[in-house]
């Protein structure tokens, strides 16, 4: 096919056409949430995973590796060209990728619980679908029981990949066992951010800030001290030979080589050189020494992850469950608070309706009864007052009926959910079509939960869907659950409004109190769907 494989932090050539973004799965979601940013030229990074024994050690390692991230970026910088031009930056990939949100250096976390709370806020609010949408330079990966280092450019040669993998693994062991990085550097967020830029700009020729001495130190000096400290740990991991390759990254800067080749042979010549260098050394079938180095680095990573083993995953799972339990308790407290507030609000509404409606009508009836008593000989006046009294009494009764229907409709008690929903659909403030299927009689908590969720969803549709909107309500018993959907074709609203809506929170609380769940799906211009499932046997009945 005339194709060859090459690797670098960016493709050095100018893009001839706008990238096509797959709409399938994760990439479609990235495109949907990132909009035009996702269509910028693709970047290529080297990610290294380190197996860690427990969640707290993982966060401690994330915090301490932050001190080394600028150095790792400098060693790996391999994208000096952007759109076919040398920009003077060793890693254009770093600068381009930080246009995405949630990138760069993460802050320092107080512990695993702090990290869980941070991620939980972002996921529960709907800002991100799951934790891997945090694209920090280093992050925990609970799914694998690892810490993932993500700051490095992709490498043109496999030997460089092996050297960088060995360095990351050795650094991780060094920091967890000895705590090598100075505390002042670990805590110096602004210094680390500046060092990150200096590394992206100058690569291995950078001078990074040492906050302890308040001076800038050449990468070559830093790496000599670091390799001396990390060497015993590389030997313990079986990666000493690979670690020795780091010195070649300093003595022969990749970014400088690419820029020089582009100046000599143009971008096509640079691309050909990258493809040639990516090929296994000597064309050996087994991949040659370069591939062996990478396989050995991967083996080292696997050994570290195996040592973390089941205990790591179990510890992470326990922490996750503990965080979920804490969040559930918090949600339960908030739900109880909302239920009390709703109950108080409903009590005030009943008092107001009784005062403004039935009470006023009954006072009027009493006044007219006195007038009737005083109209002794005036038959016309007596007849008129009697007719007025009849009308007022009927109006008072209707006020009371409406009030009672709002509290707990008699139809729901006497004839069940289907008839009560039919009445609600006929009297709804929005045009409504009802479909019910195989409904029987259920406990009062179950019927009330479904009825009032559907009723509030219809009221929300009337308020927010817009003029001329239509709603459909469907309820069916499916495998021991009552499943209901209230859908409208109205304006819809953003997902952030779904999370913050008090009315929707009330519906979730009501469904949850009956042992069920409720989900709201909406988007601007796409209408709104309220989907709920309530068991036909409520928790109260089950006990």
Residue 526 is classified by DSSP as S
Residue 33 lies in a domain: no
Residues 206 and 228 in one domain: yes
In this predicted structure, the answer to whether residue 292 has a pLDDT above a threshold of 50 is no
Mean local confidence (pLDDT), 63-91: 95
Residues 195 and 316 in one domain: yes
Q: Is residue 517 part of a domain?
A: yes
Please indicate, yes or no, whether residues 477 and 520 belong to a single structural domain of this protein. Answer: yes
* Same domain (yes/no): 98, 185: yes
Quote the tokens at residue 67.
């001190």
Does one domain contain both 156 and 213? yes
In a domain, 435, yes or no: yes
Could you tell me the CATH number of the domain that includes residue 311? 3.30.590.20
Decide which of 284, 309, 328 is a domain's last residue: 328
407, 434, 467 - which closes a domain: 407
Residues 226 and 366 occupy one common structural domain: no
Alpha carbons 154 and 11: distance in angstroms, whole number: 11
Specify the pTM.
0.56
* Structure-model confidence comparison of residues 349 and 491, the more confident one: 491
Name the token pair of 510.
Answer: 């009501």
If asked whether residues 159 and 225 sit together in one domain, one would say yes
The verdict on residue 305 lying in a domain is yes
Helix/strand/coil (H, E, C) string of 354-396? HHHHHHHHHHHHHHHHHHHHHCCCCHHHHHHHHHHHHHHHHHH
pLDDT range class, residue 286, cuts 50, 70, 90: very low
* b/e map 293-326, b = 16+ CB within 10 Å: bbebbeebbeebbeebeeebeebbeebeeebeee
- Burial (Cβ within 10 Å: 0-12, 13-18, ≥19) of residue 459: middle
Q: Which domain holds residue 205?
A: 47-271+300-328
381 in a domain, yes or no? Answer: yes
Tens digits of residue pLDDT in 428-473: 888 999 999 878 899 888 898 899 899 888 888 888 888 888 999 9
Contact 471, 465 (CB under 8 A): yes
What is the predicted pLDDT for the residue at 39?
A: 59
With respect to residue 77, please indicate whether it lies within any of the assigned structural domains.
yes
Phi, psi of 482 (to 5 degrees): -95, 120
Pair (461, 428) in one structural domain: yes
Rounded to the nearest integer, the mean pLDDT of the chain is 81
Residue 455 is part of a domain; what is its CATH number? 3.30.565.10
Strands 103-104 and 135-136: parallel
End position of a domain, from candidates 407, 429, 456: 407
Lowest-pLDDT range of 41-55, 118-132, 324-338:
324-338
Pair (184, 220) in one structural domain: yes
Q: Report which DSSP code applies to 437.
A: E
Q: Say if residue 64 is in the same domain as residue 146.
A: yes
Is position 490 within any domain?
Answer: yes
| 183 confidence band (pLDDT: 50, 70, 90) | very high
Question: In this structure, is the dihedral angle defined by the CA atoms of residues 385, 390, 392 and 396, taken in order, positive or negative?
Answer: positive
Residue 398 domain-assigned (yes or no): yes
- Asked whether residue 241 falls in the same domain as residue 171, the answer is yes
Structural domain total, the chain = 3
Residues ≥6 apart with Cβ < 8 Å to 445:
513, 514, 538, 540, 541
428 and 380 together in one domain: no
Q: Is 83 exposed, middle or buried (0-12, 13-18, 19+ CB in 10 A)?
A: middle
Distance CA 116, CA 95 (A): 28
């Amino acid at each position: 096919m005339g194709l060859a494989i090459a690797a670098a932090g960016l493709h050095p050539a100018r893009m001839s056409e706008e990238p096509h973004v797959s709409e399938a799965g994760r990439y479609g979601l990235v495109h949907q949430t990132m909009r035009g940013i996702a269509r910028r030229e693709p970047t290529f990074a080297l990610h290294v995973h380190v197996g860690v024994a427990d969640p707290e050690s993982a966060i401690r390692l994330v915090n301490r590796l932050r001190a080394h991230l600028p150095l790792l970026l400098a060693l790996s910088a391999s994208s000096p060209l952007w759109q076919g031009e040398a920009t003077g930056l060793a890693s254009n990939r770093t600068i381009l990728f930080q246009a995405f949100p949630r990138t760069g250096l993460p802050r320092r976390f107080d512990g695993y619980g702090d990290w869980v709370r941070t991620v939980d806020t972002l996921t529960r609010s709907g800002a991100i679908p799951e934790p891997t949408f945090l694209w920090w330079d280093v992050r925990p990966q609970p799914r694998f029981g690892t810490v993932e280092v993500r700051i490095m450019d992709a490498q043109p040669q496999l030997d460089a990949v092996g050297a960088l993998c060995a360095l990351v693994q050795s650094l991780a062991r060094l920091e967890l066992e000895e705590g090598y990085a100075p505390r002042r550097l670990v805590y110096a967020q602004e210094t680390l951010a500046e060092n990150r830029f200096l590394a992206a700009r100058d690569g291995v020729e950078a001078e990074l800030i040492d906050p302890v001495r308040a001076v800038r130190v050449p990468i070559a000096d830093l790496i000599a001290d670091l390799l001396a400290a990390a060497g015993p740990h590389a030997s313990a991991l079986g990666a000493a030979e690979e670690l020795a390759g780091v010195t070649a990254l300093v003595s022969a800067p990749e970014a400088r080589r690419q820029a020089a080749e582009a100046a000599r042979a143009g971008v096509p010549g640079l691309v050909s050189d990258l493809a040639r260098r990516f090929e296994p050394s000597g064309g050996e079938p087994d991949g040659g020494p370069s591939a062996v180095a990478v396989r050995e680095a991967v083996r080292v990573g696997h050994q570290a992850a195996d040592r973390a083993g089941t205990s790591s995953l179990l510890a992470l799972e326990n922490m996750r469950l503990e965080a979920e339990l804490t969040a559930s308790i918090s949600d339960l407290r908030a739900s109880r608070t909302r239920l009390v507030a709703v109950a108080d609000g409903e009590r005030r509404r009943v008092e107001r309706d009784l005062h403004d409606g039935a009470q006023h009508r009954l006072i009027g009836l009493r006044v007219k009864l006195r007038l009737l008593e005083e109209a002794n000989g005036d038959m016309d006046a007596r007849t008129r007052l009697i007719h007025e009294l009849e009308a007022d009494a009927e109006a008072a009764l209707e006020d009371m009926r409406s009030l009672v229907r709002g509290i707990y409709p008699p139809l729901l008690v006497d004839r069940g959910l289907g008839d009560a929903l039919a009445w609600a659909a006929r009297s709804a403030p929005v045009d409504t079509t009802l479909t019910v299927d195989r409904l029987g009689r259920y406990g009062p908590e179950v019927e009330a939960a479904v009825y009032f969720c559907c009723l509030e969803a219809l009221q929300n549709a009337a308020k927010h869907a817009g003029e001329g909107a239509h709603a459909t309500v469907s309820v069916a018993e499916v495998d021991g659950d009552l499943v209901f959907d209230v859908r409208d074709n109205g304006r819809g609203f953003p997902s952030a409004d779904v999370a913050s809506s008090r009315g929707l929170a009330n519906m979730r609380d009501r469904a949850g109190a009956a042992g069920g769940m409720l989900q709201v799906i909406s988007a601007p211009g796409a209408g709104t769907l309220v989907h709920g499932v309530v068991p036909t046997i409520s928790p109260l009945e089950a006990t």
